[in-house]
Amino acid sequence: MIEAASSMENRRSSPAMSHFAAILIILLLVVPAKSVELFRYRGAAKDGGTLEYIFESDEQDVPKTVSKEKAAEIAADFVTTFYHAQIGALETQEFRTQPVPFWLVSFSDTTKGPMRQMFFVVLLPDGTIVEPRVEKRL
């Protein structure tokens, strides 16, 4: 019985097991959490092509700490800096719960006349901007 316990103790403290445990911990720290797509849309590029905006986040449990009004204010500021556009009217604003909770806010490109383009902003419930990944399509 003593020999079995001693043998088991040697296996637990062997260099191979320590090495394996270290690799496992490193992999858990290095591999990022899986991001989920929150929203995607296509818009016209200035050169005639198409730009696809993909909003993704790996955040899962973000507390809802900004009001609807504050979310709209943050979104309006982001539109002018990210899209380099003068925003028009706030068109829609909704709090979605799937796949993870987030604010989806959209603005038109004009306050008068026909609308040519919509600008979308995604915010996490705490007001953090989800900056889209932009892909050019022909």
pLDDT at 1: 53
pLDDT at 33: 59
Task: Answer yes or no: do 53 and 1 share one domain.
Answer: no
For the chain, the domain total comes to 2
Task: Answer yes or no: do 2 and 49 share one domain.
Answer: no
Per-state percent for the chain, helix, strand, coil, to nearest 5: 30, 30, 40
pTM, two decimal places: 0.72
Task: Answer yes or no: do 17 and 55 share one domain.
Answer: no
Domain that includes residue 26, residue range: 1-31
Task: Answer yes or no: do 46 and 103 share one domain.
Answer: yes
Tens-digit pLDDT profile for the chain (138 aa)? 555 554 445 555 567 666 555 554 554 455 455 899 999 999 888 888 899 999 999 998 899 999 999 999 999 999 999 988 888 889 999 999 999 999 999 999 876 777 778 999 999 999 999 999 999 887
For 98, 111, 116, the CA distances from 128, given in Å and listed in that order, are: 17, 27, 28
pLDDT at 22: 58
Task: Answer yes or no: do 2 and 65 share one domain.
Answer: no
Task: Answer yes or no: do 6 and 47 share one domain.
Answer: no
Distance CA 134, CA 46 (A): 14
